[in-house]
Structure 1
Amino acid sequence: MSRRSIPYLLAAVLCALYCAVSVPRQLRFETYGFDLGIFEQGVRGYAALGPPVSTLKGTGFNLLGDHFSPVLALLAPVYRLFPGAVTLLVAQAVLIAVSVVPVTRLAIEVSGRVGGTLLGTAYGLSWGLWAALEFDFHEVAFAVPLAAFAVEALARDRAVAAACWALPLLLVKEDQGLLVAGVGVYLMARRHRRLGAAVVVTAVLVTAVVVLLVIPANHPDGRYAYADAGEWDGGDPLSRLLLPGTKWWTVLALLAPTGYLALRSPLVLLAVAPLAARFWAVNPLYWGTRYHYSAVLMPVLFLAFADGLRRIGRWYAGWLRLAVPVLALLVAAVALPVPPPGPAGLRVTEARQVLAVVPDGARVAASNELAAQLTGRCTVSLFPRLTPPGTSGPWARPVAEWVAVLDRRDEGGGDSSPASVEERSAVAGLPAAGYREAASGGGITVYRWAG
């Protein structure tokens, strides 16, 4: 097998593995309205040649008023052919698998055929990618291959190619401007001053226009809802940036699969600004290793790893060319996150039959755990944020003719989370709101409004 074909073959194998992990989660009712259902509604809107509206967020809520991700429109043609949430999960698997090609390609040049393949496999199994794959779908899937090809181009000192791969990141999500600006600064440091400055200016201007104008223009309240997360509260900025210790654990976890040899390459500095922005935010979900927040950093760090090995030079020879990638693979395998479990007590076959009672095109309020099963064929809002027919509610929720909920009656006091308590209370109030039970079984219950 030639060196040139190995990266593509490895990407194909890992793509099949990614699909084998993510697609069955949808089939087993282990996905959620937040966020798979939301993104499917957005893509469904594009596929219908309309705006990316998500009724899970609110009636007529344009997702461009939440995050600037017009890149999702690229999925519309495929979704027209294969409508359903599974299409998004497969697309995400393909996009992330594509990023394996540039990482493995550079790794093979540095570590040889066997060592490079092992290092590419370690990247493909790295916890940041795995965490994204195991929790539904996110637009960041588009950022992963773009970042990988951009950083590979930087490692090869191909300035124009790096800029061309980096600039489309601005269409993925507004926070990717930090990575794009980092690419521009790196180009300037590598004596590509004009091109680098142009990339930085473009990143700053586009991000400013998006955050200050585009997103507020599409938001129901006329604002950028995530601006509060970055406001300074007047405290010690260093403490806010560096504490609590969860943030340091995330840094260690990011560098551990590379044996900290990524620090040998200046490419690792590209991860600083995106990581600092996460640590500055007040939401603790951004600080840790869960969900999709570290996915775009993984190609940056692994390509810095390969570049760092190259910079070691003659000391990186012999058995080290194999030992270091093997160590990276072992660390990546140990760090694989455990996928979140699905709803307790749910029997899939029976539950699917009960949901089939809801007709196509119906307006239905569904539990978060059930929403992604319906977004491909119904207008879905989130239960218990319910607007019964004949009433109005906050944020103008769609009027729900049907309600599909998890049967939490057997939970008793087992699940005392506010969301579960609120949902059980809302279910108890459905008869008074005019809803009658239409079908039940498999751990779910469907209600229909009877007036």
Structure 2
Amino acid sequence: MTPAPAPPAGSRLPARLPTVPLPWGWAAALFTLYATVAVRRHLLLRTTGYDLGIFEQAVRAYAHLRPPLAPLRGEDFNLLGDHFHPALAVLAPLYRLWPSPLCLLVAQSALLALAVVPLCAWALTALGRRAAHAVALVYGASWGIASAAAFDFHEVALAVPLLSCAATALGRRRWRAAVAWAAPLVLVKEDLGLTLAAVGAVIAWQGPRRLGAVTAACGVLASAVEVRVLLPALHPAGGYAHGANLAEGAHTSLLTTVAFAPLDALRPDIKAMTLILVFAPSALLALRSPIALLTVPTLAWRMLSQNGFHWGTSFHYSAVLMPVVVAALIDALRPWHTPGAPPAAVRHVRASLAVALAVTLVLVPSFPLAQLAQRATWRTTAHAEAARALLARIPDGATVAASNRLVPQLTSRCEVVLFPAFPVDARLYRYDRDRLPRPTAEWIVHDRHAPEAWPYRTGHWPYPAEQQAAELAAAQRSYGYRRVAERDGITLLRRTGPTGTGRGGP
């Protein structure tokens, strides 16, 4: 055998660049995409006190080894009494190093992007390289993930990679690994214990029955303890803060509520549309896999809720469903991709993935990832510049009452409440002028222009613009505040004297 000729003296062979594994390459690309959307929205004042500001106050408290009190929700309000999410504490070390709302937005982007790794890796081995690219794009561009990536920060971001790993382990028949990945869900949010129970049900159906039964029982027990014991103990007013969402509603008894539940889950029409859209990125093929059962607990409480926000496709509520749906798609197609499969089976897999991709891409313009193609996303507005200039006049450590969209611009360095302050109870979105407390913050900063209206809400939430203007005038007339500056619809007030008598409050 003739040896290969040696390279000429003094020449260098080109170094072979290390290749990035396909799943991690997709994770990096999606992280860049999600983080860009989230950061640009924050810089344009499109993030809000409800919810980014609230979660930042909680994580900031964890970072300083304090209970997660959130002044935006009320005085000495422990956020663990609202939803049970002690897993948020894992972000505290990162926040201590980078105390900024951008820390939470970037962390959420990373968590949502990481969920593609197990899905893409499984698709690579089960369906092939081209299919893995398709699966990664279906997950990455799915409307549920896009809606979460562009709507502040929420604790469920921690659940998305856990569910991705758990669903993938179920599909690969790695039962104990599935339980290990799903178990921490009970520390992310109180309803996710029921998702753990669904993992147990799938295991009992397809794998070791004892392991599945124990897992299901532990999941139900965890949610019951959190809802019945822990949340009421930690809530300032006692009870489960969101119990009213699952009240009997128009029905007169629990029996009639249960009897009408199947119809109520489809009325009004927006519920049926959401149910279809949840499985649409899989071309509805996910419904052929037992893994799809993991979506049942989340869909059940949302469709039976009395809160209309839970029924639609906006906000973060569908993020936990997307990795499950994509894993179920892989599981449904896997039996068709086997060595020596007939041409018809190969065509079936290709056609199915093509339809899934087409549906996903058709939906993209209707959801927030499309903002990257809009010029307004890349232009810093005069309004945002005015806001930053006025907010810079507020010293660190000050107490501030701020408009909803100005809150997260301050929560990293000030003690912030929402302007105008209001009592927090189960009727969060009702206006009750007579119970508004007297302002006591050192500063008030009010923005009468909403940079962007929320879906289903006005940009001036929680009160109509004219009522907020009345509160601003009352602060200057009766409560000892003077106008420090005003620019582009943003008013900065500072308290210079006693709060006066005015109408009462705490």
Contact map agreement 1:345 1:443 (CA 8 A) in 2: no
Instruction: Indicate conservation of the 8 Å contact 1:40/1:376, yes or no.
Output: yes
The secondary structure found in structure 1 opposite 2:485 is strand
Greater relative CO (CA pairs within 8 A, separation 6+): 1
Task: Note if contact 2:481-2:493 (Cα within 8 Å) is conserved in structure 1.
Answer: yes
- Aligned runs of 1:315-334 on 2, under 5 Å? 317-334=345-362
Query: C-alpha root-mean-square deviation of aligned residues, in Å?
Result: 2.5
Between the aligned partners of 2:443 and 2:177, the Cα distance in structure 1 is 52
SS in structure 2 of the partner of residue 220 of structure 1: coil
The corresponding residue for 1:390 is none
CA 1:224 to 1:395, structure 2 compared with 1: closer, same or farther past 3 Å? farther
Residue 44 of structure 2 contacts residue 381 of structure 2 at CA under 8 Å; is this kept in 1?
A: no
- Percentage of matched positions with identical amino acids: 44
Residues 1:269 and 2:293 are matched in the alignment: yes
Cα separation, 2, equivalents of 1:4 and 1:415: 43
TM-score (norm 1): 0.92
Give matches, 1:303-342, under 5 Å. 303-312=327-336, 314=341, 317-336=345-364, 337-339=366-368
In the superposition, relative to structure 1, how do residues 88 and 58 fare at CA in structure 2: closer, same or farther (>3 Å)? same
Matches within 5 A, 1:369-380: 369-380=405-416
Partner of 1:147: 163
Partner residue of 2:455? none
**1:114 matched to 2:159:** no
Which one of the candidate residues 110, 115, 119 is aligned to 1:103?
119
- How many residues align structurally? 441
Change (3 A) 1:220 1:187: same
Q: Deviations over 1:387-437 (max 9, x none)?
A: 9xxxxx96989831100110359xxxx989843232122112121221111
Q: Distance in 1 between matches of 2:460 and 2:159?
A: 37
- The 5 Å alignment of 1:35-184 reads 35-184=51-200
Is 1:430 equivalent to 2:475 in the alignment? yes
1:10-55 Cα distance to aligned partner (Å, 9 max, x none): 1111111111111111111110000000000000000010011111
Does the 8 Å contact 1:4/1:105 carry over to 2? no
Matched, 1:187 2:228: no
For residues 245-278 of structure 1, the C-alpha deviation after alignment (integer angstroms, 9 at most, x for no partner) is: 1111011111111111112211112212221111
2-structure distance, mates of 1:28, 1:263: 40
Q: Is the 8 A contact 2:292 2:328 kept in 1?
A: yes
AA aligned to 1:333 is L
Amino acid at match of 2:99: P
Q: 2:310 aligns with which of 270, 278, 286?
A: 286
CA distance in 2, matches of 1:408, 1:377: 24
Q: Secondary structure at the match of 2:128?
A: helix
Bigger drift between 147-156 and 233-242 goes to 233-242
CA separation in 2, counterparts of 1:444 and 1:54?
A: 25
Match of 1:407 in 2: 448
Distance in 1 of aligned mates of 2:460 and 2:94: 41
Structure 1 stretches lacking a partner, 5+ long: 388-392
Which residue in the other structure is 1:440 paired with?
486
Equivalent position amino acid for 2:268 in 1: P
CA distance in 2, matches of 1:194, 1:397: 58
The question of 1:26 aligning with 2:72 is answered no
CA pair 441-197 structure 1, distance change in 2 beyond 3 A: same
- Paired residues for 1:219-368 under 5 Å: 219-232=235-248, 233=251, 234=253, 235=256, 236-312=260-336, 314=341, 317-336=345-364, 337-339=366-368, 347-368=383-404
Cα 1:311–1:420 shift into 2, 3 Å: farther
Largest Rg, 1 or 2: 2
For residues 303 and 241 of structure 1, the distance between their equivalents in structure 2, rounded to whole angstroms, comes to 24
TM-score (norm 2): 0.82
Specify the code of the residue in structure 2 equivalent to 1:331. Answer: V
AA aligned to 2:480 is G
Question: Following superposition of structure 1 onto structure 2, how do residues 411-422 of structure 1 map, counting pairs within 5 Å?
Answer: 418-422=463-467
Contact 2:120–2:135, Cα closer than 8 Å, also in 1: yes
Gaps of 5+ in 2: 1-16, 424-433, 451-457, 498-506
Amino acid at match of 1:402: W
Do the aligned residues in 1 keep the contact of 2:446 with 2:491 (CA within 8 Å)?
yes
What are the superposed Cα offsets for residues 70-102 of structure 1, whole Å, 9 maximum, x if unpaired? 011000000000001000000000001110011
Over 3 Å counting, the alpha-carbon distance change for 1:397 and 1:268 in structure 2 is farther
The secondary structure found in structure 2 opposite 1:358 is coil
CA contact (8 A) 2:83 2:189 kept: yes
Between 1:397-406 and 1:301-310, the stretch displaced more is 397-406
Deviation of residue 2 (structure 1)?
Answer: 11
User: Per the alignment, do residues 408 and 160 of structure 1 end up closer, same or farther by CA in structure 2, a change over 3 Å counting?
Assistant: closer
SS at match of 1:174: coil
SS in 1 for 2:265: helix
